[in-house]
Amino acid sequence: MEIVRKWIQAIMALLVNGSWSFPFTRTIYQGPLKVVCSPGLNCYSCPAATTYCPIGSLQQLMAGIRIALENGQNFFGFYVVGTMGVLGGAFGRLICGWACPFGLIQELLYKIPSKKFSIPQKLNYLKYGFLLFFVILLPLLVVDDFGYGELWFCKYVCPAGTLEAGLPMLMLQPALSQTIGIVFFNKLTILVGFIIWSILASRPFCRTACPLGAFYALFKKLKLVKLRLIEENCTKCEECHSVCPMGVKFNESPEDAECISCLKCMDKACKFNAISLEIAGLPVGRNGRIRSNPATKQSNAAV
Amino acid sequence: MTVESGKTSKQIRVAPFVVILIFVIMGIFGIMTGEVSRVLEQAVQVCLSCIGIG
């Protein structure tokens, strides 16, 4: 299953970055596919990007809301939030595990041999702050003399944007290097910090700073596709704790906001069919049935 | 709605469909107000200041 997931991650990364004419055009793809929402975090100023980034678009709409209203345009972000909500309602953070290019990059970095560290659970809440303040409130409320806001998350934080758009654009258009300043170097430092952190800890950006992950996490109880704990089968052996890339203790919090449904716990760890994938409450695949194996009952009794 | 599956009866969760429907309606409203063209207009331009350049 892990190989299938890696293939799907790679295919999704190529689909949302499928325009490879940029070495000749020296700019980004400008075709009609850019009305399609990228399910994962993928900067639309990346030269190869074929879709729009929901976080970038949402900030753009928040930042320009005053001007739009003055011009009689009711652009409140309904299309972008509607698309994000459909994705979130269907898959939630499964998208982080299966369809996010920046998630894939972090997973590959984590494979580099080094001493590994855990991430304090409290840092998980930071990403909700980024979503609320950097994506919604600051672009909406802090405006210039003309009424335009700034894209706070894109401009000051997003390491995916620096990696996928900032650095490639500097390579494609070297003249731009004369215009970079403290903001760019600050973003570069953030990128380098997350790269190093991704080698030392699993998916640090997803867990602490990704506003899209924070949005999808809001659907933890309501999403269509989710993992389910079958308590009757669980022996509380805690094997699921050790394989989770997001630090979720699945048998203790099966509806954890951090679960990216990568299926490692179900596929690699649990030997007792205590974790199943379900769609709208109905189990999918061979898992999902209560075991009548006496060994499980004995283990349960022993624990 | 209840469905028999294996040894246990499973309850189909309706809430995800309601949530998805709400966001579909929201998205359609966005399409009707012309937001799609605004999104496209923004997405086809390189916003240098948005990526920390310029």
CB contact under 8 A, B30 and A27: no
In chain B, the number of structural domains is 1
Name the residue in chain B with its Cα closest to that of A165: B51
Instruction: Give the domain range for residue B8.
Output: 2-51
pLDDT higher than 80, residue A302 = no
What average pLDDT does chain A have? 92
Q: Which of B22, B25, B39 sits opposite A80 (nearest CB)?
A: B39
Domains in chain A: boundaries = 2-217, 226-302
The pLDDT of A166-194, averaged and rounded, is 93
In angstroms, the separation between the Cα of residue B20 and the nearest Cα of chain A is 5
pLDDT at A288: 59
What confidence tens digit (pLDDT) does each residue in A49-61 have? 999 999 999 999 9
Residue B7 banded pLDDT, cuts 50, 70, 90:
very low
In the predicted model, what is the mean pLDDT of residues A64-89? 93
Out of A247-261, A275-289, B17-31, least confident range: A275-289
Share of chain A above pLDDT 90, in %: 83
Which positions 5-44 of B are in contact with A (Cβ < 8 Å)? 5-8, 10-17, 19-20, 22-31, 33-36, 38-40, 42-44
Question: What is chain A written as a DSSP string?
Answer: -HHHHHHHHHHHHHHHT----HHHH-S---SGGGGSBPSS---TTSTT--SB-HHHHHHHHHHTHHHHHHTT---SSHHHHHHHHHHHHHHTTHHHHHT-HHHHHHHHHHTS-S------GGGGGHHHHIIIIIIIIHHHH-B-TTS-B--HHHHHT-HHHIIIIIHHHHHH-GGGGGGB-HHHHHHHHHHHHHHHHHHHSSSHHHHHT-HHHHHHHTTTTT-SEEEEE-TTT-----HHHHH-TT---TTT-TT-TT-----HIIIII-SSS-EEEEETTEEESS--SPP--HHHHHHHHH-
